Structure formats: structure tokens, C-alpha cells
């Protein structure tokens, strides 16, 4: 049975660690999780981005900084609806973005939230660094991101673990975390793409404990954060 896991409030390091733990322990059925954040903003950046390029653009007021296990650019987390999806697939990342974002878009349109798919873009926008400047995910919309009023509202990053895919997404627009229409759109879009129905259940506490330990031993450590300088 596909699962939508309910989790307690977690820090940015614990969020990344929990996605790591979930994909390590996932079976063949998909797992969806909406992040429940501890208070305050945070910033994540792509696995392949250079720490110094990212650090130079972040102020302390924007919160702690954590390298993601997935790719992509910098993402500022403050009011966004952040979520992850673990599932088995042999599709290429471009195909996953097109199908998942397209399915979410259809639900957003049904909920009367305007959005459209991004057309052709400069290939340089996919680069984690351009001219020595670390790319921000929401400053550089790419193919199959969703936009509203010309502004990017949904982007995601992917990493493949064998046949398993970890997708980490961020939906950034007014009331993204508080308007249930956005959560429904993500859930229904994922269900449509994967052909499943999610059963909502609390996450097992042993997974939370493993994530908290992994956050301390990997995601908060300089060896991980400064993996690429």
C-alpha cells in the first residue's frame, strides 16, 4: 500500500536525513511525505553545488544551510510547501518532471490556481553554478517547472538510488503551507502519475530516531556541507 507519512516538526538537517532514511528502507510501494518544519527559515542547496558559491549569497537571517542528497539549485524554505516522493521508476528525470508536474498542474487548474508549464529555456539554467554564482532553484525555472503569473511556483530535484527515485519538491506561492488546495494538488498529482492511492499514517518512530542520528553524523557535518568547495 502506498503511504503518505505524517511526521513531527524537524530541522532542515533532519528533513534531509529522513528522506535519506526513507529511501533506504522503502519497499516497492511509493511513499509521499509533506515536511513539517520546526520554526524559522532554512536554505537547502543541490548535492553538486559548490559550498563557497552558495555561502556567499546567504545571510544568517535566511537560516541554516544544508546540502541536499538531490541535485538542483538553492531553495529558500520559509513559507513553501515542501514534500518528498519515493517511488520505483526507470523513467529519465526529464520524463518524471514532465509527468509529475503535469499531473499536479492539472489539479491546480481544477482548484482554480493559475499555472502553466515553462517552455524552452537556456541550457545554462540547469547548471548549479553560472559564472561563479550558485544558481537559485526558483530564480532559474527550467523545463516543466510550473509558473503562475510568470513566476516559478513549483520545482523539484531528483536522485536515483538503483531503481528507486527520491524526488524533493518545493511549492512556493502565497499560502502554500496553509491552503489545503496545494496539498491536495500534490497528493492527487502523485497518485495520478503513479496509479496509486496513498494511505495516511504516522511515521514509525524508529525511522525518526534513525534520521536524527543521521542528521548529526552526516547532514550537519562539515564533511557533507563542504563536500564541494
Cβ(128)–Cβ(134) below 8 Å: yes
Name the pLDDT band for 145 (thresholds 50, 70, 90).
Answer: confident
Q: Mapping DSSP to helix (H, G, I), strand (E, B) and coil, where does residue 175 land?
A: coil
Name the pLDDT band for 119 (thresholds 50, 70, 90).
Answer: low
Instruction: Fill in the DSSP letter of residue 127.
Output: S
Return the sign of the alpha-carbon dihedral for residues 93, 142, 41, 184. Answer: negative
Instruction: Return the residue matching grid coordinates 525518526.
Output: 208
> Who wins on pLDDT, 47 or 142?
47
Q: What pLDDT is recorded for position 211? A: 98
- Output the CA angle 169-77-223, nearest 5 degrees: 85
Burial class of residue 181 (count of CB atoms within 10 Å of its CB; 0-12, 13-18, 19+): middle
* pTM of the complete model: 0.91
Q: Which of 177, 217, 222 is nearest to 66 (CA)?
A: 222
- C-alpha to C-alpha distance for 170 and 82, rounded to whole angstroms: 4
Facing residues of 116 across strands? 147
56-70, 94-108, 116-130, 182-196: least confident range: 116-130
End-to-end CA distance of the chain: 42
Tell me the residue range of the domain where 174 lies: 3-225
Q: Mapping DSSP to helix (H, G, I), strand (E, B) and coil, where does residue 19 land?
A: helix
Q: Quote the distance between the C-alpha of residue 1 and its chain's center.
A: 22
Q: What pLDDT is recorded for position 136? A: 53
Instruction: Return the residue matching grid coordinates 499560502.
Output: 175
Q: What pLDDT is recorded for position 164? A: 96
Q: What is the CATH number of the domain that holds 96?
A: 3.30.930.10
- C-alpha to C-alpha distance for 97 and 53, rounded to whole angstroms: 26
Percent of the chain whose pLDDT exceeds 90:
78
Return the sign of the alpha-carbon dihedral for residues 37, 80, 82, 182. Answer: positive
Counted domains in the chain: 1
Instruction: Fill in the DSSP letter of residue 46.
Output: -
Helix, strand, coil shares of the chain as percentages rounded to 5? 35, 25, 40
Q: What pLDDT is recorded for position 110? A: 85
- C-alpha to C-alpha distance for 26 and 8, rounded to whole angstroms: 19
Amino acid at each position: 500500500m502506498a503511504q503518505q507519512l505524517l511526521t513531527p516538526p524537524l530541522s532542515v538537517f533532519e528533513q534531509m536525513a529522513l528522506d535519506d532514511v526513507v529511501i533506504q528502507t522503502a519497499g516497492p510501494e511509493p511513499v509521499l511525505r509533506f515536511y513539517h518544519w520546526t520554526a524559522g527559515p532554512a536554505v537547502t542547496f543541490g548535492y553538486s553545488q559548490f559550498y563557497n558559491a552558495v555561502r556567499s549569497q546567504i545571510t544568517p537571517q535566511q537560516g541554516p544551510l544544508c546540502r541536499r542528497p538531490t541535485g538542483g539549485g538553492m531553495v529558500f524554505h520559509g513559507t513553501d510547501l515542501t514534500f518528498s516522493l519515493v517511488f520505483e521508476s526507470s523513467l529519465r528525470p526529464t520524463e518524471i518532471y514532465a509527468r509529475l508536474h503535469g499531473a499536479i498542474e492539472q489539479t491546480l487548474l481544477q482548484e482554480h490556481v493559475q499555472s502553466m508549464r515553462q517552455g524552452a529555456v537556456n541550457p545554462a539554467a540547469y547548471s548549479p553554478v553560472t559564472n561563479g554564482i550558485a544558481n537559485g532553484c526558483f530564480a532559474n525555472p527550467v523545463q516543466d517547472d510550473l509558473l503562475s503569473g510568470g513566476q516559478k511556483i513549483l520545482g523539484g530535484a531528483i536522485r536515483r538510488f538503483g531503481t528507486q527515485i527520491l524526488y524533493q519538491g518545493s511549492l512556493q506561492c502565497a499560502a502554500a503551507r496553509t491552503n489545503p488546495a496545494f496539498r491536495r494538488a500534490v497528493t492527487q498529482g502523485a497518485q495520478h502519475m503513479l496509479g496509486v492511492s496513498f494511505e495516511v499514517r504516522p511515521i514509525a518512530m524508529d525511522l525518526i530516531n534513525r534520521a536524527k542520528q543521521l542528521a548529526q553524523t552526516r547532514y550537519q557535518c562539515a564533511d557533507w556541507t563542504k563536500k564541494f568547495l
